[in-house]
Amino acid sequence: MKQHEDVHTLAAAYALNALDTGEREAFAAHLDDCEACRLEAAEFEATAARLAAAAAQPPPASMKERVMSSIDGVRQLPPHLSATTRAVRPRGVLRDRAAAFAIAAAVAAAASFGGLAAWQYQQGERARQQAVQAEERLRDISAVLTADDARTVRGRTTNGAATTVVASRAHDMAVVTASGLPAPASGRVYQLWLDHDGTMLPAGFLRGDGAVLVEGDTSDASAVGITLEPAGGSEEPTTTPLLLMPMPG
């Protein structure tokens, strides 16, 4: 804890939670008897909260040392009180308050940087997971297309795309391929369906030319269909199928 004559300089560090336990308890006791420091600490707390609201993070361990060295020897005089309490603000108070607010801004900037780093880490993790999932899908597609028991049915959609369904009972999976598939209108997507005893169940989306793994249980599906649906897909077909092909057996 600093010498008693410098206790007023701890308002900013107290508001920013940069004091150790002993210092914080001592300054909290000092606040009971010092209205000026109570007001000062409250102002710093409000400022730090506004600056760091977008990305609140605990201050790093080195923050206390930087805060204390920045305010060392700079006395934070009490804030402006009513005319009956104080008539004149001593010269230099604005400078001292500006320094303290700069410290609060530095803490908020550090917190924001920490939030940005966390966001970047999350984005990197999401990209990694997507890459892993894409690799798994490619592996499954390859397994179906090269399976010893692979069976193929070919067809053509009503809008002219050459389409095939390749199924492997051993892998219990199916793949749909398309070539020459026109881009859907804005706000529309190509959706796949599996026919289970007359009930069409969603089975994923066909993004364009290429191959896609059919989602859902293909073991007892009798057919695969393709429709144009609103973006995001539908729970059941809302348009006439562009194609309905029997599931290869």
Instruction: Note down pLDDT in tens along the chain; length 249 residues.
Output: 444 446 666 766 776 666 777 787 888 888 888 877 777 677 666 655 555 554 445 555 565 565 556 555 555 555 544 444 444 444 454 555 556 666 666 666 666 666 666 766 677 777 777 777 778 878 888 888 888 999 999 999 999 999 999 999 999 999 999 999 999 999 999 999 999 999 999 999 998 888 999 999 998 999 999 999 999 999 999 999 999 999 997
pLDDT given at position 17: 67
| C-alpha dist (Å) from residue 218 to 182, 193, 237, 242 | 26, 10, 18, 20
Cβ neighbourhood burial of 226 (10 Å; 0-12, 13-18, 19+) = buried
Query: What does the alpha-carbon distance between residue 217 and residue 201 come to, in Å, rounded to a whole number?
Result: 10
pLDDT given at position 172: 92
Do β-strands 162-168 and 151-156 pair in parallel, antiparallel, or remain unpaired? antiparallel
Query: What does the alpha-carbon distance between residue 189 and residue 182 come to, in Å, rounded to a whole number?
Result: 11
Helix (H, G, I), strand (E, B) or coil at 27: helix
The domains of the chain are located at 4-117, 151-246
Partners of 206 in the β-ladder = 190
Contact 226, 214 (CB under 8 A): no
pLDDT given at position 106: 65
Put simply, whether the predicted model's pTM sits higher than 0.85 gets the answer no
CB atoms closer than 10 angstroms to residue 25: 12
Contacts of 57 (CB under 8 A, 6+ apart): 110, 111, 114, 115, 118
